[in-house]
Amino acid sequence: MLGAIETGMRTHEWVPIPEVARLSGQNARKAEFRLGQLFEQKLVMREKLHYVGYQIDFDAYDLLALYDFVKRDHVSRIGERFGIGKEAVVYEACGKIPLAVKFHRQGRTSFKHVRRLRDHLTDLPKVPWLYAAALAARREFQVMEKLYPVVSVPRPVALSRHALAMEFIPGPQLNRITLSDPEEAQKMILEAVAAALRLGFIHADLSEFNVIISDEGPRIIDWPQAVQLEHPHARELLVRDLGNVLRFFERKYKIVMPLESALELVGAREMPPGETQEEASKT
Average pLDDT for 106-121:
51
- Nearest one of 159, 147, 166, 160 to 228, comparing CA atoms: 147
CATH of domain 2-56: 1.10.10.10
Per-residue pLDDT tens for 171-186? 999 999 999 999 999 9
Which residue, among 247, 142, 134, 131, has the nearest Cα to 189 in the 3D structure? Answer: 247
Of 10-19, 93-102, 108-117, 191-200, the one with minimum mean pLDDT is 108-117
pLDDT of residue 117: 44
DSSP string, 34-51: HHHHHHHTTSEEEEESSS
Q: Does 205 qualify as catalytic in the annotation?
A: yes
For the entire predicted model, the pTM comes to 0.86
Residue 112 in this model has a pLDDT that exceeds 60? no
Fold of 59-167: Phosphorylase Kinase; domain 1 (3.30.200)
Instruction: Using DSSP, state whether 59 is helix, strand or coil.
Output: helix
User: What pLDDT band is residue 43 in, cutting at 50, 70 and 90?
Assistant: very high
CATH superfamily for 174-279 is Transferase(Phosphotransferase) domain 1 (1.10.510.10)
Residue 121 pLDDT greater than 70, yes or no: no
Percentage of the chain beyond pLDDT 90 is 80
What is the predicted pLDDT for the residue at 275? 47
From the candidates 62, 123, 205, 241, which is the catalytic residue?
Answer: 205
